[in-house]
Structures are given as structure tokens and as C-alpha cells.
Structure 1
């Protein structure tokens, strides 16, 4: 039972640190991290598909 509590505690602390550090790196810039597809709206709705393997 003690091993289970230690394992769950270790996983919780690891998850806490992993989510803290990734939240600081979520500042995306147009032209650097992504491309703006269109500035103006089209007269008819269009569907654009994009797949990222980055």
C-alpha cells in the first residue's frame, strides 16, 4: 500500500511540474509559428484542411 501511495504521489508531482513548464512556452507569433490564411472573409463558406507533422 505504501508503494502505491509513493507511486501516485510521484506521478502527481511529475504531472504538476510538466504542466507548469509547458504553460510558459505557449506564446505563438504569426509568421513564425503559424501563417494567417486569409485577412478577409469569403462570400461563401470554405473548408480548409491542414495537417501538421511538426
Structure 2
């Protein structure tokens, strides 16, 4: 669980920083898309872990 949270947080932070540095995006918009990215990354990692655990691959 902690691994999924850390990876999702790092990916979201990278997205926010890139948006602020490269795209002229407001801080609120960057934080909102970072939050969405965090949730999506967490759900993808959760589904992936469950899929590989269920099928016996690891």
C-alpha cells in the first residue's frame, strides 16, 4: 500500500512541477490535475497489483 502511495505521489508531483515550469498554467489548475493524476495512478497500480496477484504472476 505504501509503495503505491509513494509512486502515485511522485508521479503527481512531477506532473505539477512540469506544468508550472513548462506550461503557463495557474497553480490551482496544476494542483487539480496533479490530484487527478494521483488518483488515477493509484487506481492503476492497485488494479495491476491485484491482476498479477490473482493470475499468479509476480
In the superposition, the TM-score normalised over structure 2's length comes to 0.45
Structure number having the greater helix percentage? 2
Query: Relative contact order: is structure 1 or structure 2 higher (C-alpha 8 Å, sep ≥ 6)?
Result: 2
In the superposition, the TM-score normalised over structure 1's length comes to 0.48
Higher Rg of the two aligned structures: 1
